[in-house]
Amino acid sequence: MKCYLLILFLGMNCCVFAMKSLGDGQYFKTTQSATTASVISARQKALLFAKNTLATMVNGKVENVTKSYIEHNSETGKSADDFMTETRMTANMLLQNVTVTDENVIKEKNGKYTVYITLKLRKDDVLKELCKKLSANKQDKETFHKEVFVDLWERENK
């Protein structure tokens, strides 16, 4: 009976953490875990996994919106690859400064430690920083249509 409850508990936790990775409407959010003999290395691994997952989420959205923007606006002033690179670099700068919003350490019966880390990044902050960067660039300033970019971002969010 105890074994069944443990499996049920672990199965439910996996589902919860998988669902958390989907985020909600206002945030990119993910929870990841790692288990090792050392709390420090488990934390480092969980943080790395969480940052990688968050980066995939953010970069996916930025890439989709940027592709749509380029399709709608053929006069970006630069090649599509250059525009994509610039938006991706801006998103990656934001990801470097993301903070841990929740952290749990569990000591397992086998002596190892499992660390769960949650990271959250406001979608509005990513959008504002992208628009700020693209508006500040001299080459993009005349051809960047913020309203179009914001509209495509919000459509992608639905």
Helix axes 123-136, 146-157, angle to 10 degrees: 160
Confidence of residue 120 (pLDDT cuts 50, 70, 90): very high
pLDDT at residue number 13: 43
Tokens of 51: 């940052």
Q: What is the domain partition of the chain in residue ranges?
A: 2-157
- N- to C-terminal Cα distance for the chain? 43
Segment 82-110 shows an average pLDDT of 86
Segment 89-116 shows an average pLDDT of 90
- Residue 87 CA to residue 39 CA, distance in Å, equals 36
pLDDT at residue number 103: 96
* C-beta separation of 131 from 66 below 8 A: no
- From the list 129, 139, 136, 147, the residue with the least C-alpha distance to 78 is 139
Tell me the average pLDDT of the chain. Answer: 79
pLDDT at residue number 8: 35
- pTM, two decimals, is 0.74
More confident residue, 116 or 20: 116
* C-beta separation of 131 from 146 below 8 A: yes
**What's the residue count for the chain?**
158
